[in-house]
């Protein structure tokens, strides 16, 4: 009996606060709508990135098959790959804040002392993923990296990237098929897209948690 009286009193106090400040409900509803729209936007972006990744990988495998056909199976096969341990040319940095954020560092120099590149600051070759980049045109070659800084060292860093790309294809010979370079570009773009997908998934899950917290009925019971 006592519990029912306390619950009734709390309900009356809640109604009194609502009548006293009716704008609080409207503001709360607007916040919930905004969080729901954010979740829907991130979900749409996530699905778009998945579709883009599938298309890019399909094109990459097609170009690789074309290169192997034109150059011959003896020149394009896994036995030519260098399986020795060597420094990674591309690596991933993970930042942990409210939600994890992944940053791709591409074509890090294998000889930082000679090139003067600094991988701690990204050496201008980092590719950060965000929602704003989800609609960029992936039909362009990966060589056009928008993350490169616009300064006096731009040409030197572009040359360094090109050298690293050529070095990775050197195992297949001096003169390689343009299709092989196109396949390299497609797979490089796929790695970038995977990082974008990881960031978008983290954003989507964070938005979903906020939406789920707002899914309460009139009695205050979570659905």
* Mean pLDDT, residues 12-31 taken together: 55
Structure confidence at residue 13 as a pLDDT band (50, 70, 90): low
* Higher pLDDT among residues 83 and 136, named by residue: 83
Res 142 pLDDT > 50: no
For the beta carbon of residue 204, count every other beta carbon within 10 angstroms.
22
Q: Please check whether residue 1 lies inside any domain of the structure.
A: no
Whole domain around residue 127: which residue ranges? 29-214
Residue 41 lies in a domain: yes
> Quick one: three-class SS letters along the chain?
CHHHHHHHHHHHHHHHHHHHCCHHHHHHHHHHHHHHHHHHHHHHHHHHHHHHHHHHHHHHHHHHHHHHHHHCCCCCCHHHCCCCCCCCCCEEEEEECCCEEEEEECCCCCCHHHHCCCCCCHHHCEEECCHHHCCCCCCCCCCCCCCCCCCCCHHHHHHHHHHHHHHHHHHHCCCCCHHHHHHHHHHHHHHHHHHHHHHHHHHHHHHHHHHHHHCECCCCCEC
pLDDT digits (tens, 9 = 90+) for 41-58: 999 999 999 999 999 999
Does the pTM surpass 0.85? The reply is: no
pLDDT at 68: 92
Q: What is the mean pLDDT of residues 125-152?
A: 47
At 33, the pLDDT band (50, 70, 90 cuts) reads confident
pLDDT at 78: 84
Residue 3 lies in a domain: no
Looking at the predicted structure, is the pLDDT value of residue 79 above 90? no
Comparing 157 with 179, the larger pLDDT belongs to 179
The mean pLDDT value for 108-131 works out to 42
Burial 174-183 (b: 16+ CB within 10 A, else e): eebbebbbbb
78 within domain boundaries: yes
Q: What is the mean pLDDT of the segment spanning 135-161?
A: 58
Q: Is the pLDDT of residue 203 over 70?
A: yes
Can you give the pLDDT at residue 3? 47
Write down the pLDDT at residue 101: 86
Whether residue 70 lies inside any domain: the answer is: yes
How far is it, in rounded angstroms, from Cα 183 to Cα 176?
A: 12
Q: Which segment, 80-94, 105-119, 207-221, is predicted with the most confidence on average?
A: 80-94
Report if residue 222 sits inside a domain: no
Better-scored residue on pLDDT, 221 or 64:
64
User: Averaged over 62-91, what is the pLDDT?
Assistant: 86
Cβ neighbours of residue 27 closer than 8 Å, sequence gap 6 or more:
none
Residue 15 inside a domain? The answer is no
Domain count, the chain: 1
* Mean per-residue pLDDT over the chain, rounded: 73
Does any domain span residue 74? Answer: yes
**pLDDT (0 to 100) of residue 32:** 82
């Amino acid at each position: 009996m006592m519990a029912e009286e306390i619950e009734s009193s709390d309900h009356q106090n809640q109604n009194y606060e609502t009548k006293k400040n009716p704008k609080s409900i409207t503001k709360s509803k607007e916040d919930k709508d905004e969080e729901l729209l954010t979740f829907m936007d991130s979900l749409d972006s996530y699905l778009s990135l998945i579709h883009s990744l599938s298309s890019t990988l399909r094109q990459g495998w097609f170009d690789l098959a074309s290169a192997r056909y034109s150059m011959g199976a003896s020149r394009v096969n896994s036995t030519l790959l260098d399986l020795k341990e060597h420094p990674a040319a591309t690596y991933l940095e993970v930042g942990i804040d409210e939600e994890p954020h992944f940053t791709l560092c591409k074509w890090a120099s294998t000889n930082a002392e000679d090139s003067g590149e600094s991988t701690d600051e990204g050496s201008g070759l980092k590719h950060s993923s965000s929602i704003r980049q989800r609609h960029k045109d992936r039909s362009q070659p990966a060589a056009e990296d928008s993350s490169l800084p616009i300064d006096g060292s731009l040409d030197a860093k572009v040359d360094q990237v090109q050298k690293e790309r050529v070095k990775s294809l050197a195992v297949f010979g001096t003169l390689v098929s343009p299709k092989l370079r196109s396949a390299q570009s497609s797979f490089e773009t796929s790695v970038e897209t995977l990082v974008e997908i990881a960031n978008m998934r983290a954003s989507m899950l964070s938005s979903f948690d906020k939406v789920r917290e707002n899914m309460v009925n009139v009695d205050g019971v979570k659905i």
